[in-house]
Amino acid sequence: MEKYGVFINYRHEDYYFALRVYDYLKNRGLDPFIDYDLHQGQFEERLYAQIRETPYFLMVLTSRSCIDVGEDDVYCREIQTALESGSTILMVAEAGFDGSDFDRLSFSNPEYVRTLKGHQRYEIDRKMDNFYSRMETLCNRDIDVQRIWDAISWREYARCNSNVLFTSREVLEKGGIASWKNRFGADLEYYVDHDFGRAPFEGEYRIRHINMACYAASIIFAPDRDMVDYLAYDHGKMFNVISTLFHDPDFSMTLITNTPDSPAAIDAVESQKLGNSAFDDDPRAVFLSSYQGVHRLLQEEPFGSARKDHRFTYLLTESYMPFAYFQIIYKDAWREFNHIKIDLYTEGLANNISRRSLIVFEQDDRDTYLFLHNQFSHLQERSRRTSRQLIKANHERWLEEWEDYLADRY
């Protein structure tokens, strides 16, 4: 007999509620059983045998569940079989279900009714608005995956519970997964493609805050064509997006980059981790270009005002960073899209677009999301303590070195 992780018990009047529970458990990789999996043969006997072989018995309860149910009813006999076989009983109940409704059920052992009344029920409101939060709590608290390990495929479980998208940066950004429209909204995408600089933006501002940490941020804060790897060049689109966002008084951003002299920057150059073909003749110029680009923009609008209003924070670090970090925190109406995008730094990288990249959504994998967010917060606090001193000691020299590089190059 095929094994399952969770047997779903329900009255057929509640089929659609039960099917939603089934779909949720299936997507969690918990291999649920529902009776539409049985199509022919000795129907009832197979049902009871399946209950005895399945470690968890989940009851889907509504105000209709216990009405007109006799001792010989299949629904009632399923419950009795689960109680007798030692299955772990789980319950989700639509709002309005009362524990006294169990008194309507008929069992050979009257203790079964008291047992059912004593079980915890996860109540779901009639509009199903809290369905996912209740189901997540039930799964995390009451289902031990180890108990059903032999009933499910570990590869299937891993697939269903891997909430990180991992692919090349090119596929992630240009393949529609993390498209401009998805991340910044259709209004903003259309604006930067058609009206930027000619008309005020009148669409929705979805984004509340961006955290960014990377080697140099050249593609955003030094958007000139000659300063960016030609394969990763976005024609200044990201720069226009950030510039437009700063016109929203509720938007803020924190940017952390490496200093041109940091051991991390030297390692990135020597190990060919930058992937910026625009500076093959002098990779260190990537860092100089980025620094002077941010410095120049701070003298211009809207960046200057944003900095004065403490909405734009620029910090330097000498720490090694294993990846570029780009976090978008959305306003409340779009908070379900909060995510962190990671671009891994790799030795011998020919161009930025071939980097391996991944996205973690807060809603889907909160533990990983918070781990990465805390890593950024730690880097930010360290950088706050040292950034001002680094800039004070090196600012003029870095700008002069950049001017010398341009003079030699052109």
Helical axes 15-27 vs 131-142, angle rounded to 10°: 60
pLDDT tens track of the chain, all 410 residues? Answer: 677 899 999 988 898 899 999 989 988 888 899 886 444 445 678 889 899 989 999 999 998 888 777 667 888 889 999 999 989 999 999 998 888 888 888 787 888 888 998 889 999 998 888 999 999 999 999 999 888 876 676 656 666 666 666 776 667 666 566 778 888 988 998 998 888 878 889 999 999 999 999 988 876 776 565 666 555 556 678 888 999 999 999 999 999 999 999 998 888 888 877 766 556 667 788 888 889 989 988 999 999 999 999 999 999 999 988 899 999 999 999 998 999 999 888 887 666 566 788 888 898 888 889 999 999 999 999 999 999 999 999 999 999 998 988 888 76
Cα dihedral 218, 183, 272, 233 sign: negative
Q: What's the one-letter identity of residue 119?
A: H
Which helix (DSSP H) or strand (DSSP E) does residue 212 occupy?
strand 207-214
What SS3 state is found at 59?
strand
pLDDT at 108: 77
Distance CA 326, CA 241 (A): 14
Long-range Cβ contacts of 296-305 (<8 Å, 24+ apart): 297/221, 302/243, 302/246, 302/247, 303/243, 303/246, 305/246
Give this prediction's pTM. Answer: 0.62
Q: What pLDDT is stored for residue 317 in this prediction?
A: 94
pLDDT at residue 41, rounded to an integer:
44
Helix axes 285-297, 366-409, angle to 10 degrees: 100
Q: What is the CA radius of gyration of the chain?
A: 29
* Residue 122, beta-bridge partner list: 92
The structure tokens 């002098």 sit at 282
Whole-number Cα distances in Å, 373 to 290, 326, 358 = 24, 10, 14
